[in-house]
Amino acid sequence: MLHIKDLHVSINGREILKGVNLDVKPGEVHAIMGPNGTGKSTLANVIAGREGYEISGEITFEGKNIFDLAVEDRARAGIFLGFQYPVEIPGVSIMNFLKTAINEKRKFLGQEPMSAGDFLKLVEEKKKVVEIPADLMKRSVNDGFSGGEKKRNEIFQMAMLEPKLAILDETDSGLDIDALRIVATGVTRLKKPENATVVITHYQRLLDFIVPDFVHILYGGRIVKSGDKTLAMELEKQGYDWIKKEFA
């Protein structure tokens, strides 16, 4: 589904990613771990299409080169990025925002706009999945939300947009254990054999709830180690110093 080959990324001449290779197949859950400042968020942003990077290498999504696609077209094609710091949009309700997003996606895919009735049905269904309180739906997008509410809203949007590939960037940061459980349970419930998830995290604790098929350690702009979930546990035990020593 997602194929990354020898990806190099620089910002203002400074190289952040120095040859990343990654393959994600449908149904898989990948965790990308690593100390702060090693390029985890950069990787997520580059896949999503954020501007401002000098890029070389290759990224394909479902066999297509994604560098030809604008941010919004990548999103409509099925790539979703859960933000570490979701943006507040006062005055625009979540419902309105999502209706716009869903219908732009449908238009892109050559489908008719979703009817108001179907939209509401979908909202009701997905609300249960991520346990989103009803009053949150009436509010403006992320406006005055707590950290936990913002992250829950990200997962709710992901549920509504039904992406093929979800990249969750530090979704666990700033969450208490209850919020973490709700967010993680939402992600797990949304898992389907045809979809894939990439979880970017600093800590192992999220992976207690979202069990990954593969764990990759990103350090110094490269994936230095890959393994199964036991790698995350080892990391938890030994800390990042172990990686730093080995790959410094």
Partner 1 sequence: MTELQKYPVAESLIKAAEKISENDGLWDGRNKAFDAFLSAGFPHKKMEKWRSTDLSEYLNAKYTYIENTDPVSNLNINQVFHCSIENFETALFTLLNGAYVYNTAPLTVMENGVIAGSLRQAWHEFPQLVGQYLSKLTENSVNGLVSLNSALATAGFFIYIPDNIVFDKPVQLVNLVNTEVNPFLQIRNLIVLGKNSKLQFLQCDDSIKDKNSFLNIVSEFHLAEGSHLDHYKLQNKDDSAVMTNTSFFGLQRDAKLSTNTITFNGGNIRNESIVNLNGEGAEAEIMGLYLVDRKQHVDNQVLVRHNVPNCTSHELFKGILDDEASVAFNGHIIVKPDAQKTNAFQSNKNILLTDTAQISTKPFLEIYADDVKCSHGATVGQLDDNAMFYLKQRGICERNAKMLLMYAFADEVVRKITVESLYHQTAEMVSRRLKGELSVCDQCMLHCGSKHPIEFEIDVTRI
Residue numbers at the binding site for partner 1 (CB under 8 A): 45, 48-51, 70-72, 75-76, 80-81, 83, 85-87, 89-93, 95-97, 99-102, 104-105, 108, 140, 157, 161
Nearest to partner 1 of 115, 230 (CB atom): 115
Pick the closest to residue 201 from 191, 193, 211 (CA basis). Answer: 211
Smallest gap from Cβ 90 to partner 1, in A, equals 5
Nearest to partner 1 of 101, 211 (CB atom): 101
Nearest to partner 1 of 83, 219 (CB atom): 83
DSSP single-letter state for residue 112: P
- Concatenated DSSP letters for 154-187? HHHHHHHH--SEEEEESTTTT--HHHHHHHHHHH
What are the tokens at 246?
């080995």
Smallest gap from Cβ 12 to partner 1, in A, equals 15
Provide the angle, in degrees to the nearest 10, between the axes of the packed helices 94-108 and 147-161. 30
- SS3 state at 119: helix
Phi, psi of 158 (to 5 degrees): -60, -40
Instruction: Report the distance separating Cα 214 and Cα 234, nearest Å.
Output: 14
Q: Are 167 and 80 in contact (CB under 8 A)?
A: yes
Nearest to partner 1 of 37, 90 (CB atom): 90
Nearest to partner 1 of 50, 192 (CB atom): 50
Nearest to partner 1 of 153, 204 (CB atom): 153
Amino acid at 113: P
